[in-house]
Amino acid sequence: MTAGFAIVDLFAGPGGLAEGFSSFETEGGIRPFNVALSIEKEKSAHQTLRFRSFLRQFGKHIPQNYYDWLNFGGAEPDWKALYPLQWEAAEEEALCLTLGEQPANRIIADRVSAIRKAHGRNTVLIGGPPCQAYSLVGRARNRGIADYDAAQDNRHFLYREYIGIISQLEPAAFVMENVKGMLSSTVDGVRMFDLITDDLRTPTDTQGYELYAFAPKGSSGPAKGTKPSDYVVRAEALGVPQARHRVIIIGLRRDVAAALERQSKPWRRPSHPRACAADVLDGMPRLRSGLSRQKDDGASWAKALANACDAVGAQNPRLEGDQEQAFRKCLSDVRASLETAAKLPRQAGKPAGIGSTCPLALAQWLRDDRLTALADNETRGHMPSDLARYLFAAAYAFATGQSPKASSFPAGLAPAHRNWDSGKFADRFRVQLRDQPSTTVTSHISKDGHYFIHPDPAQCRSLTVREAARLQTFPDNYVFRGNRTEQFVQVGNAVPPFLARQIAEALWEILSAPQLNAEQFASNPLLETVIA
């Protein structure tokens, strides 16, 4: 059995993939995946990545002053001065560099060469090239740019930097993640997915990889993909409280894949029960929203929400029977709670609980018994007119079990948006339903909260960074650097760590098998040739 595998993480963001891999433990309590190098170009995301790397240096024994800082607040300790060796190791591991540029490529090549020398081919490459050029929203935006030429857009081809590291590192396995729009993106009539998978299978003339889909429909575990849609992973089917659909491609070096094919047991994937938004949002502090463009205090907020109740109550919600009664009762309950709600803070770390209905494995993953407070949990300010729309949407969802479309909004609550009646943004104000996985948490949450309205009508607000992080399954002790907008971008762009952990577990089952002992392959080229 191998002693472990070194992880190289490209386009790492705040470290969602690496968190899942580095946190995976065997039944014996050993963590076999160790992050050797992570690369991220965005400054605040890199700061988050580096700080998490710093904490990993302590293993399961994170210093108490870290928890004191999170639980009780106050000035942040000078970690570099207190723990210079651990900080130096984090700076060595997490680099702020842009792949595809010099001198970054030379620095990365030298580091990869050193990792290859130290670990042989006992390595795993993870990461997801930037998705703006593949996403449906990004492509729509590009079409609006005069003289836009996809063939000249470097973002379409950043995956080649990933391919280049594969050819140099020759990892036992790799994991590439991207948006679902990657499947339909084309450049000069060539489908990008076909181009990318062809390059992934043969990164060099001498080394090849077999590609596997992690969760193809009808399979109990990863299997070779037979069509592009096989590679779409539906996170909600794997215990993540979010309907996040992403392309995940797993590559196994051909000697590893050949041995896998000879195994009698199937390649299983972990199984987790379905989780909903309420499972992870319940137990968190109740907060009020802020008020933008005017005085913001509890009394002003209560007055603004009372006005919102009047505005919504005066409209015809176009509901009937029990649904209309439930809608009206919801408004009445919100009005009755105003005095209490006005005393709610905009920022609160306590309590740090979690819903009693949350599946045990997910609750254990998110919670840290040493935490009594939650970081990064401050509400945004909203305009009074938007408070009325949020209230209508939340009350509508409470009554019907569905988030309202634009066509469901009364004319008196419609915003002055040019495309409001076009049908293009039918769910511009979207409530996250309590008893359903949330919709996909994206970086757009950084711009406004309209797509991410809290399910509790009385709080009448959008989600906080920590609430979004819980839907993304970041552990509660994971701190995000940067301002709130930058934190939202990091959370929205990340791979859910709970999902990443499941990929790590499935990979370890294969890579740790005696007949797949990568150290043996690396030390005996003849054996490798025979197996291949």
- Tell me the catalytic residues: 131
| Angstrom distance (rounded) from CA 267 to CA 212 | 11
Phi-psi region of 332 (alpha: psi -120 to 50; beta: other; left: phi over 0): alpha
| Other CB atoms within 10 A of residue 372 CB | 15
| Angstrom distance (rounded) from CA 18 to CA 335 | 45
Q: What pairs with residue 252 in β-bridges? A: 173, 210
Contact 274, 437 (CB under 8 A): yes
Radius of gyration, CA atoms only, the chain: 24
Helix, strand or coil, per DSSP, at residue 496: coil
Q: Is the peptide bond before 351 cis (omega within 30 degrees of 0)?
A: yes
Contact 126, 497 (CB under 8 A): no
CA distances to 4, 19, 304 from 31, in Å: 8, 12, 52
Residue 484 Cα to chain centre, angstroms: 16
CA distances to 4, 122, 199, 333, 356 from 36, in Å: 12, 12, 25, 54, 37
Helix, strand or coil, per DSSP, at residue 257: helix
CA 418, 422, 425, 428 torsion-angle sign = positive
Taking alpha carbons only, the member of 217, 224, 220 closest to residue 258 is 224
Q: Annotate 314-341 with DSSP letters as a single string.
A: TS-----HHHHHHHHHHHHHHHHTHHHH
